[in-house]
């Protein structure tokens, strides 16, 4: 398989779930050299190459980077976006705050 540039990024959690399962997985995908276009009959995305079918998963970032280095590929890493959770409880819904307009 001939790939020049690849992307390495973490799998994000499903938007339909509140849990953080399967968040530690890292994906290595090629940066596509050809443009994507809608296929006229079915409307799916079509391309002139088969790199769209390549997706490799790794248990951590270092393993994905090492695999790219071993194969001599240039890679771009997208870091993990940390979720900021502001602790709240139900009682705070009924606290008077003069700075908040209603």
1-11+24-80 to CATH, choices 2.60.120.10, 1.10.730.10, 3.40.50.300, 3.30.160.190:
3.30.160.190
Per domain, the residue ranges of the chain are 1-11+24-80
For residue 61, which phi and psi values (nearest 5 degrees)?
A: -65, -40
Model pLDDT for residues 41-82, shown as the tens digit of each residue: 888 877 777 777 788 999 999 999 999 999 999 999 998 777
Tens digits of per-residue pLDDT, 29-51? 888 777 778 888 888 877 777 77
């Amino acid at each position: 398989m001939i790939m020049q540039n690849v992307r390495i990024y973490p799998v994000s959690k499903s938007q339909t779930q509140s849990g953080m399962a399967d968040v530690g997985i890292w994906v290595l995908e090629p940066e596509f050299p050809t443009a994507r276009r809608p296929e006229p009959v079915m409307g799916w995305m079509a391309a002139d190459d088969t790199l769209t079918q390549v997706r490799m998963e790794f248990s951590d970032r270092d393993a994905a980077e090492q695999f790219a280095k071993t194969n001599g590929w240039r890679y771009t890493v997208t870091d993990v976006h940390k979720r900021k959770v502001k602790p709240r409880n139900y009682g705070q819904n009924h606290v008077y705050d003069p700075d908040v307009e209603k």
